[in-house]
Amino acid sequence: MAAEEPSAGARLEAAAIAQGLVHDPAAATLVGAWARDTDRACVVEGVGGVQRIGIVSDYGDGQDCSATGIVERKGERLRVTLGECRIDATFDGERIVFPGEVPPACTSLCRGRASLAAFAVERQSESASEAATLRGRGGRRLCE
């Protein structure tokens, strides 16, 4: 049986990656500083190759989320573990996006009406030193 031909969309994406017009998600690193609007994240290499992640979402006036944990990557899927809060996110090489609904265990990471649901950030830098500057509640560094 002959191998199935890639779709036109798959061929177009492969051509865009080859020309450098689109980042190859498989080759992209998570390490760095991430941001969009009031959402911020940092990812750094931890002990034993485990990647650490820090997350801040601040809407002001006591409406915020702040957490640290680990992130595991399998292709375009991320497993973010923030204590008891476990979220399956997506990663396309340039964006990290949480689902529109997160487990109830994640509510303890937020204050007021803030939530980690639909948290989304875009790459700002691949620098671990920049990532290490992100601070959460009380000025605590989230990615040391």
Q: CA angle at residue 109 from 104 to 113, to 5 degrees?
A: 75
Q: What CATH class has 28-136?
A: mainly beta
- Is the full-model pTM beyond 0.85? no
Three-state secondary structure call for residue 77: strand
Q: Is the pLDDT of residue 24 over 60?
A: no
Q: What is the pLDDT of residue 47?
A: 86
Q: Is the pLDDT of residue 1 over 60?
A: no
Two structure tokens written together for 41: 């994240």
Q: Is the pLDDT of residue 36 over 90?
A: yes
Encode pLDDT of 58-76 as tens digits. 988 889 999 999 999 998 9
Q: What is the mean pLDDT of residues 103-118?
A: 96
Q: Is the pLDDT of residue 135 over 60?
A: yes
Q: Which of 85, 96, 93 is nearest to 118 (CA)?
A: 96
Q: What is the mean pLDDT of residues 3-20?
A: 66
CA dist., res. 56 & res. 43, Å (int): 12
- Stretch (H or E) spanning 69: strand 64-74
